[in-house]
Structure 1
Amino acid sequence: MTRIFVAILLLITVGLRAAYAQQGTDAGVWVQVEAQPSLREAQDRAQVYANALPDVNGFRLNSGWYAIVIGPYLRADAEQVLRVYRAERQIPSDSFITFSGALGQQFWPIGANVLNRGAITAPVQPEPQPEQPQAGLTPQPSDETRSQALQSERLLSGQERKDLQTALQAAGFYSSTIDGAFGQGTRRSMAEWQRFNGFEPTGVLTTAQRKALMDDYNAPLISVGMARHVDDRAGISVDLPLGVVAFDRYEAPFAHFNPNGDLDARVVLISQEGSNTTLRALFEAMQSLEIVPLNGPRELRGDRFTIEGRGNGIVSYTQANLSNGKIKGFTLVWPEGDDARRARVLAAMTASFETTDGVLDAAAGANAEQSIDLMSGLQLRKPRLSRSGFFADPNGLVLTVAEAVQNCTRVTLEDGQELQTAWSDPELGVAVLRPNKTLAPMAVAALNEAQPRLQSEVAVAGYSYEGALGAPTLTYGKIADIRGLNGEAGVTRLSLTAQPGDAGGPVFDDHGNVVGMLLPAQTEGRTLPRDVSLAAAADRLHEILSKAGATAQTAKETGQVSPDELNRRATGMTVLVNCWG
């Protein structure tokens, strides 16, 4: 009764949205439940599923196999259908999400052509099927007696026996050790699989049944065209999902494989000469790439490393190993929400990865388009927002604007040093950040709390272009008023044209002391003239540092400093604060 209720609820929930997706099937998402090598078998199986489930369709794959899918749906609905039908064992446990781009001519329903890619119009009439309690693997008459099945089973290698146990486990029938030993537990799971699929439950799989079980288990790999790829230039041989990615180019130390369809998957092969120092540098560099999201475990141990990343709609895995002065490895990037298929692809790549003597020439791809936002053709990860800040005590405490830390999953300095918020004043818009490790700044701000003179010259140090120049720049101006626009104390008005990235930078007087911190330009309400900027006054900054448990350094120098000295101080204390989304 519960199963019927769940199925009815699912139909009501997604039915209308499935109809909507049907109107725009090029953007539709499907649940692939099975793939068969022949049209006849595929039509037979499609009929079985159509007798039990709605929205059953069938399409030819690029690999030549025939896929049975349910849909199309919107992405969220497809994931719900996948969860519910798998939980109810209406579809195999290794069913997965697929996309319209992977599908070709339509063979089911016979004559249908919803993707406008042609229909297979010569229908093969399905043979009468024995009544089955549920949809499962391909039913077929027994091709061997139990004695013959045992005899053919004895010819299996140890790995083939383990593979059968793994496939039974993936189908939900086996939960014991994968050891290749066919004891009572394995025999019982085989019998349950046979019974579920309409076969006589002998506990010994025939040759055809073993093939059906393994074909179903390998359907996710078949759907992505898993095949051997040998790259002599990189010195790597590995199984790759060549149905969804294709080789694009070399840019040392990488060989790039980009998507060739709707599935946003990518593969990067890694090949370079190096040492442990090179391996460590690669480990750090990979974590700065957009294809390696911030969230996930990462480990560098001895002569190898692994990095997992999840976020921004993708999941990536990187591994690399140093052997005989050569670093070889790969990165697999896969869209989120397709974890079952991703896990199978990753396992196949890891198990098949082999190296040869070759190594990618360091000059490979030297003529490729160059960009400061790229590393060997891979996009560097960019922060959601970058602002300036400055060291306020000898241990590396940083003063910056509050907007630099709002809604951030992680806050870092330019060198990757992580920071935590020690205190925040939302009214003034100032934040105090404490580094996770004690730092040793080249220079620390000396706060001059004396009231500045009107029209006196000041300079703001900041990363005007949010880190593009790699160092802070100085922007000069004057004190226009010692109060804010509404007469508020603790705020100084400057006659100075600043960029968004300058916000949070220190405001220097002509003695090289800090008299304030530049605040962000107003983005709501009135728009100020370009040469009007506001700064938090030094006395307010002193108060905020005290609340954060820090002691501000007080200005002592009274003589004017040279432009070179001012630039030295600005460079030593001004930092780039990065907010990662």
Structure 2
Amino acid sequence: MIATAVAKNAGRRCKPGAYRVTSVREFTLCSRTVRQMTAPTFATRLPAALRVLLIALSLLLPAVTGHMARAQEAVWLQIEAHPTLAEAEQRARAYAGAFPNVNGFRMASGWYALALGPYNAAGAAAELRNLRAGLLIPSDSYVSDGSLYREPFWPAGAQGLGARPAPPVSVQSLDEATPDADAPATPEQAAPIPEVIEETPQQARAAERDLTRQDRMALQEALQWEGFYASAIDGAFGAGTRNAMGAYQAAMGYTPTGVLTTAQRQELLENYRAVFADLGLASVMDEAAQIEMIMPTDKVAFADVTPPFVHYDSRDDSGIRVILISQSGGRSALAGLYNVMQTLEIVPPEGERSRSGDSFTLTGQGDDLESYTWARTEGGSIKGFTVVWKPEDRRVMQRVIETMQQSFRSTGSGALADVAGDEPEERIDLLAGLQIRRPTMSRSGVYLDRSGAVLTVTELLDSCERLTIAGDYDAQIVARDDALGLAVLKPSQRMSPVSYARFATATPRLQSELAVSGFSYEDVLDLPVMTYGTLAATRGLDGDEGRARLQIETLPGDAGGPVFDSEGAVTGVLLARADSDRQLPENVMFAARPDAMSALLAEAGVSASMAEGGATLTPTALSRHAADMTVLVSCW
């Protein structure tokens, strides 16, 4: 039996007796249908020249079909794909030192694939499992039939298709080329340029039935990544998945049938996997931290250990970093770590925060970096990780985080010792080798009421993207007086300060002792510092009655702090040193008087509380009294 002839004309006119061979087992004879014909019967109905050609084809048929059978059995283990030829050649050279069967092909997508093989289909899956288990190839390597592979580029000097599986053979119609029956068959005539035969919707659906649930879920993930699918990843091809497939086909220029062909499925998956190929996702076991997890090993490399962290720094300019968390402790230690992590620069303040009894999650989004942190306590130890990336890589890294989270495993109940390796440089802005996030500027303020409204200086307001009071509370400006140099802030959530300002009802006498409470060293110290001086004048140098002149030596961080008399009443608020061509002595400072603030407080909707008078406070008592109402105001 030579073949079963299929009547199809592909919309093309043909001459009487013309034929087209679409594969070695499928013939088109114009619009006639010929079925179940033996070779002699079929041959006697054809012209002499055509009979000669068919005889030659029948002689070639066993060799061609044997080649096809071998090609169909040949598969590859695709291990990586890269966007540029230079990167792919570099990685191929590295793999060639460990594997004798490394091959490189340009893909239909324009990327460059690295593949091991060829293998027979029966043994490829087992080889894939063995190489993955030995961590010899990336964990996302997979079996490929090579249909999307094009010209080879590795090994160096590879020509033609090499060992690449050949698609079905096709011969041009006699409309386009009529062979000379008397001429010997040339290699070009015997083995024409391959042409991929597209599946019909029925064939595509039949091939789809052989997909596993994992295969179906992978297709849904790829469709979701491309923006065509927004439903659950469940492996069920319902209306949503069919619509997504049709939309993908239309976008790629295919007929939108809603059923992907084998080639279309592979193309979709190749393009999806290529996005992650250069990350080198592979399992890493860190013995010091006793943690095993999949990491982007082509982007990060081990740097050092500074308990409770193991640092994997970026290999290139991608900005990707991984930090393993490993320390002993239970729930209370986990709560402490949750608070500490939020002070680090790698955890920007914008982002979701969540904490349960046994775990916490921190996300951070900044202009220069984003991060994800997760940790849990189990069996007396705390294990987790932080991954950092550039904002433009957010989409890819969200998928990487899912992989890291799912693969995370504690390999033992132990954790990093309290001290490991060389001690890092002792700096106030470093924690275990990580930069602590610090404000660009901090000044002092004074609470005005029980809701947490704060009076401070305008000096730090204009260059801030974010304002905080007491370190953690976001604040908004509700009123400001630039002429006076003061502003009123209100916290974004209600606070309950221990105490708040009560203003003096009378002006202190000249040369009386006063004290300023302020964060002299900005955010370095947790409590305000008391600085003592005297009242030099009840007016400013130019006669301004809203300002009092003090004889006191303060630091920039003290600006905005309350000025107290000996009984603890607030007689004013220390103003920032004004920029001027005149250089005043260091001990000349000014404070805004209470009566000058009344309009500002009214605008902010704050009622000033007045002091009732009392006994003189000792320095210790005055310090405690001042600390309860003095607050740190920070600009970020």
Matched, 1:284 2:311: no
Q: Deviations over 1:152-194 (max 9, x none)?
A: 8666542133113322443456666533345785599389659
Whether the 8 Å contact between 1:189 and 1:203 is mirrored in structure 2 is yes
Whether the 8 Å contact between 2:471 and 2:634 is mirrored in structure 1 is no
Matched, 1:240 2:295: yes
Deviates further, 456-465 or 195-204: 195-204
Matched, 1:457 2:513: yes
- TM-score, normalization by structure 1: 0.69
In structure 2, distance between residues paired with 1:191 and 1:397:
55
Task: Report the CA distance between 1:515 and its aligned residue.
Answer: 1.6
- 2:277 maps to what in 1? 222
Task: Report the CA distance between 1:382 and its aligned residue.
Answer: 0.9
Matched, 1:355 2:355: no
Whether the 8 Å contact between 1:236 and 1:355 is mirrored in structure 2 is yes
Deviates further, 405-414 or 229-238: 405-414
In structure 2, distance between residues paired with 1:203 and 1:550:
67
User: Is the partner of 1:313 in helix, strand or coil?
Assistant: coil
Whether the 8 Å contact between 2:549 and 2:589 is mirrored in structure 1 is yes
Task: Report the CA distance between 1:335 and its aligned residue.
Answer: 0.6
In structure 2, distance between residues paired with 1:226 and 1:513:
64
Whether the 8 Å contact between 1:476 and 1:496 is mirrored in structure 2 is yes
Whether the 8 Å contact between 1:190 and 1:205 is mirrored in structure 2 is no
In structure 2, distance between residues paired with 1:544 and 1:271:
51
- 2:392 maps to what in 1? 337
Q: Deviations over 1:206-238 (max 9, x none)?
A: 4x7755543321222222222211123323221
- 1:107 maps to what in 2? none
Matched, 1:320 2:375: yes
Deviates further, 445-454 or 461-470: 445-454
Match of 2:590 among 534, 541, 548: 534
Matched, 1:60 2:87: yes
Task: Report the CA distance between 1:394 and its aligned residue.
Answer: 4.8
- 2:577 maps to what in 1? 521
In structure 1, distance between residues paired with 2:251 and 2:598:
77
Matched, 1:266 2:321: yes
- 1:16 maps to what in 2? none
Q: Higher relative contact order by CA 8 Å / sep ≥ 6: 1 or 2?
A: 1
In structure 2, distance between residues paired with 1:412 and 1:465:
17
Task: Report the CA distance between 1:63 and its aligned residue.
Answer: 7.1
User: Is the partner of 2:621 in helix, strand or coil?
Assistant: helix
Within-5 A mapping of 1:92-171? 142=196, 156-171=211-226
- 2:633 maps to what in 1? 577
CA shift in 2, pair 1:91/1:428, >3 Å? farther
CA shift in 2, pair 1:272/1:200, >3 Å? same
User: Is the partner of 2:91 in helix, strand or coil?
Assistant: coil
Q: Work out the number of aligned pairs and report it.
A: 471
Within-5 A mapping of 1:126-525? 142=196, 156-171=211-226, 178-181=233-236, 186=242, 189=245, 193=249, 196=252, 205-206=261-262, 212-365=267-420, 367-435=423-491, 436-441=493-498, 443-523=499-579
CA shift in 2, pair 1:388/1:155, >3 Å? same
In structure 2, distance between residues paired with 1:191 and 1:434:
51
Whether the 8 Å contact between 2:223 and 2:244 is mirrored in structure 1 is no
CA shift in 2, pair 1:37/1:262, >3 Å? farther
In structure 2, distance between residues paired with 1:305 and 1:126:
56
- 2:33 maps to what in 1? none
Task: Report the CA distance between 1:386 and its aligned residue.
Answer: 0.8
Task: Report the CA distance between 1:509 and its aligned residue.
Answer: 2.9
In structure 2, distance between residues paired with 1:308 and 1:202:
38
Whether the 8 Å contact between 1:522 and 1:528 is mirrored in structure 2 is no
User: Is the partner of 2:220 in helix, strand or coil?
Assistant: helix
CA shift in 2, pair 1:63/1:472, >3 Å? farther
Task: Report the CA distance between 1:475 and its aligned residue.
Answer: 2.2
In structure 2, distance between residues paired with 1:339 and 1:438:
35
Q: Deviations over 1:15-53 (max 9, x none)?
A: xxxxxxxxxxxxxxxxxxxxx9799x98xxx9xxxxxxx
In structure 2, distance between residues paired with 1:462 and 1:548:
23
Letter in 2 for 1:475: T
Task: Report the CA distance between 1:334 and its aligned residue.
Answer: 0.8
Q: Deviations over 1:222-274 (max 9, x none)?
A: 22222211123323221111212112222333222111211112112223343
Task: Report the CA distance between 1:204 and its aligned residue.
Answer: 5.8
Task: Report the CA distance between 1:517 and its aligned residue.
Answer: 0.8
Task: Report the CA distance between 1:545 and its aligned residue.
Answer: 3.5
Task: Report the CA distance between 1:401 and its aligned residue.
Answer: 1.4
Letter in 2 for 1:437: R
In structure 1, distance between residues paired with 2:251 and 2:459:
63
User: Is the partner of 1:576 in helix, strand or coil?
Assistant: strand
In structure 1, distance between residues paired with 2:594 and 2:447:
14
Letter in 1 for 2:274: A
Q: Deviations over 1:330-374 (max 9, x none)?
A: 222111122232223223223322333344224143733333222
Task: Report the CA distance between 1:380 and its aligned residue.
Answer: 1.6
In structure 2, distance between residues paired with 1:200 and 1:546:
67
Q: Give me the identity figure in percent.
A: 40
In structure 2, distance between residues paired with 1:169 and 1:548:
50
Q: Deviations over 1:76-124 (max 9, x none)?
A: xxxxxxxxxxxxxx9899xxxxxxxxxxxxxxxxxxxxxxxxxx99787
In structure 1, distance between residues paired with 2:321 and 2:234:
34
Task: Report the CA distance between 1:518 and its aligned residue.
Answer: 0.6
Task: Report the CA distance between 1:434 and its aligned residue.
Answer: 3.5
Deviates further, 370-379 or 146-155: 146-155
Letter in 1 for 2:574: L
Whether the 8 Å contact between 2:224 and 2:230 is mirrored in structure 1 is yes
In structure 2, distance between residues paired with 1:210 and 1:236:
36
Whether the 8 Å contact between 2:228 and 2:247 is mirrored in structure 1 is no
CA shift in 2, pair 1:290/1:175, >3 Å? closer
- 1:22 maps to what in 2? none
Task: Report the CA distance between 1:404 and its aligned residue.
Answer: 4.1
In structure 2, distance between residues paired with 1:427 and 1:165:
62
CA shift in 2, pair 1:526/1:449, >3 Å? farther
In structure 2, distance between residues paired with 1:471 and 1:401:
19
Gaps of 5+ in 2: 1-76, 94-107, 112-153, 162-193
In structure 2, distance between residues paired with 1:179 and 1:485:
77
User: Is the partner of 1:454 in helix, strand or coil?
Assistant: coil
Q: Which one has the largest radius of gyration?
A: 2
Task: Report the CA distance between 1:496 and its aligned residue.
Answer: 2.2
CA shift in 2, pair 1:338/1:326, >3 Å? same
Q: Deviations over 1:117-151 (max 9, x none)?
A: xxx99787899xxxxxxxxxxxx954998899889
In structure 2, distance between residues paired with 1:294 and 1:408:
14
Q: Deviations over 1:524-571 (max 9, x none)?
A: 554433222111012223554454444434334465443333323233
In structure 2, distance between residues paired with 1:199 and 1:465:
70
In structure 1, distance between residues paired with 2:412 and 2:306:
19
CA shift in 2, pair 1:505/1:202, >3 Å? closer
Task: Report the CA distance between 1:317 and its aligned residue.
Answer: 1.5
- TM-score, normalization by structure 2: 0.64
